[in-house]
Amino acid sequence: MKNVLTIAALLILISALPVAGQDPAPAPTPAEAEAFVAAAEEEILQLWIRNERAAWVQSNFITQDTERIASLAYEELMARTAALAKEATRYTGLDLTPDLDRKLRMIKLSLPLAAPADPSKQSELAGIAASLTSMYSTGKYCPDGDGECRTLGDLSRTMASSRDEEELLEAWTGWRTISPAMREKYARFAELGNAGARELGMADLGAMWRSMYDMPPEAFAAELDRLWEQVRPLYEALHCHVRAELAEQYGSELVKPGEPIPAHLLGNMWAQSWLNVYDLVMTPEEAGGDVDVTRILKDKGVTEIGMVKYGEGFFTSLGFEPLPPTFWERSLFSKPEDREVVCHASAWDIDWVDDLRIKMCIEINEEDFTTVHHELGHNFYQRAYSIQDTLYRNSAHDGFHEGIGDTVALSITPDYLVKVGLLDELPEETGDLGRLMRNALEKIAFLPFGMVVDQWRWKLFSGETPPERFNAAWWELREKYQGVKAPVTRTEADFDPGAKYHVPANTPYARYFMAQILQFQFHRALCQAAGYEGELNQCSIYANDAAGKKLRDMLAMGASRPWPEALHAIAGTTKMDGGALLDYFAPLSEWLEEQNRDRTCGW
């Protein structure tokens, strides 16, 4: 890379030059750096708490006023973090302890969005960020001439249950009517975010995100490519089987051999999970004694809070303390009838100590049962690392945070369901194939989508994708990685990336791809700690002390050490690896190979 000084860096250097007739400013010392970091941590914590409270209120009571309050809090957080990051550059090159050097770097990278120094641009950026989130969360599809509007939840239920192609197409296109209005705002958002990142010495906002992984940005991008190539053959085998079965349902004129699958036929608004087409791709005879968790939950009369109680019980069985009473008092478990809320599931730590909450419009089904465990994984991780210094109150990297709850969810096996009383007896062992297919339709199907979202943003932030190709570039990546295509013609009047929450909410997405890899590494390591010796997909660590201790010890490390050390603490390796995922799905992989023997695969 060329050593190019940014304007901000030049200004810092100019300001450090001695003025004629004045003594030069004394060079900073390690002791001053230590004092600066201590003061910065104290200030940052208070800023985080204020911003978190404002964001919680906005997410749970969406109005123009709460949007403005959240915008002001985020504006203050960005401005002060940017100022502290620039001040931290004074200590570059000093002989500091590894701990102090790590904290100075983390100040610069503590937010996924850097504000420009110009106060007016800071205010504009914060306002756009709050507005984009609200536009998504209040979005509805209102057909012409029909007074009844449909929410994302309504449309998603149609996508999950309908087998009428025209009905699916209307739901798919209907939701995407909410995002074209975001297009110009997002272009300006990227412009301002890039400006802030460059003032911190980064090439652009995408490079800033890729700098958060204890490796150079270009090395991180290469790491994701390496992991994708490990797991790509399994995805392509699943894609081949699903496409063939969808062609049986909808006809080969609509679902053509050797071509991408129309995105509206896969049971999910973004085609990121294919779990809802399970009944179309596997017969009961093939699945054997498969377990229908949705039916079990409904038959048992499990409530929304009851689902959360099951999730909490899994973590307490591993030696974690129960969630605090305030969790049950302050969380959102069901969609209110009287106001607009952000229904996208999320976990919160309001005070970075013990004010833990989830916000989720829970529905009684298998997908949300798994999601509950995922969100509680965030909460138990948050409390575990609350013992660390402020800047270390985070996961080893964001893929760890996303992977912990999913690791626990892998232990939702028939054996676990029997132990907690949801299932009366174990099904036939042949049911493992059906359960593996369910997991594959959720986790393997997700892998390329986990690559696409940030690939699109990185190209946009770098300038490789200009505004006049925002939508075209999105679908080129969807076809390249996922082998799915838009069911109808899309143009640059559309803004389909904005129909995915994480884009308007500015949430980096590569974390979810890494979580799909890491959760299987974690699961295998914890099963080994538990002394389990059978098929990896049958292992449950529920109520195992040894596995619980290994997990608790790693979570308590937070971000205090580089992530390879945290990975080594739980998995005995410093390298992310898709091998455990392939081991887990080995029986299904063999079955898919047989099913696809005479089919045209690829796209």
Q: Which tens digit of pLDDT belongs to each residue from 283-339?
A: 888 877 678 899 999 999 999 999 999 999 999 999 999 999 999 999 999 999 889
State the pLDDT at residue 426: 85
H-only helix segments in 150-182: 152-161, 165-175
Where residue 117 falls among pLDDT bands split at 50, 70, 90? confident
Alpha-carbon dihedral sign for residues 400, 405, 411, 413: negative
Residue 86: the pLDDT is 85
Structure tokens at 4: 């190019």
Interval 432-441 mean pLDDT: 92
| Cα–Cα dist 478/316, whole Å | 40
Helix (H, G, I), strand (E, B) or coil at 485: strand
What's the mean pLDDT in 73-79? 89
Cα separations in angstroms, 469 against 9, 184, 439, 475, 509 = 32, 13, 35, 10, 21
pLDDT of residue 22: 57
Task: Please say whether the beta carbons of 56 and 348 come within 8 A.
Answer: yes
Nearest to 576 by CA among 503, 515, 492: 515
User: What tens digit of pLDDT does each residue of 392-415 get?
Assistant: 999 999 999 999 989 999 999 999
Say which residue the tokens 């019980």 belong to.
Answer: 313
pTM of the model: 0.90
Return the higher-pLDDT residue of 426 and 363.
363
CA distance 574 to 564: 4
pLDDT tier at 89, thresholds 50, 70, 90 = confident
Q: Which two three-digit tokens encode residue 121?
A: 């641009």
> How many Å apart are CA 103 and CA 562, to the nearest integer?
12
Please state the rounded mean pLDDT for residues 512-539: 96
The yes-or-no verdict on residue 485 having pLDDT over 50 is yes
Least confident of 17-26, 183-192, 459-468, 568-577: 17-26
Q: Do 328 and 356 contact (CB within 8 A), yes or no?
A: no
Any idea what the Cα angle at residue 484 is, between residues 590 and 269, rounded to 5°? Answer: 105
Q: Give mean pLDDT, residues 364-368.
A: 91
To which H or E segment does residue 359 belong?
strand 356-359
* Structure-block tokens of residue 166: 């025209």
pLDDT of 16 > 50? The answer is no
The percentage of the chain sitting over the pLDDT mark of 70, rounded to a whole number, equals 95
440 by DSSP, 3-state: which? Answer: helix
At 23, the pLDDT band (50, 70, 90 cuts) reads low
> Residues 195-227: pLDDT tens digits?
999 988 899 999 999 999 999 999 999 999 999
Q: Which of 472, 432, 445 is closest to 590 using CA atoms?
A: 432
Specify the range with the lowest mean pLDDT, choosing from 142-146, 315-319, 367-371, 491-495.
Answer: 142-146
Distance, in Å, from the CA atom of 594 to the CA atom of 547, rounded to the nearest integer, reads: 36
Q: Place 15 in a pLDDT band, splitting at 50, 70 and 90.
A: very low
**Mean pLDDT along residues 174-195:** 97
Q: What is the pLDDT of residues 547-560, one digit of tens each?
A: 999 999 999 999 99
Instruction: Flag whether pLDDT at 115 surpasses 80.
Output: yes
Beta strand pairing call for 346-349 and 356-359: antiparallel
| Banded model confidence at residue 432, pLDDT cuts 50, 70, 90 | confident
Helix locations, 385-532, DSSP H: 398-409, 414-419, 432-439, 447-462, 470-477, 510-529
Percent of the chain with pLDDT over 90: 82
CB 318 within 8 A of CB 548: yes
pLDDT for res 25: 67
Examine the pLDDT at 456 and tell me if it is beyond 50: yes
Name the token pair of 269: 């608004």
CA 489 to chain centre: 29
Mean local confidence (pLDDT), 554-579: 97
Across residues 511-524, what is the average pLDDT?
Answer: 97
* pLDDT value, residue 285: 80
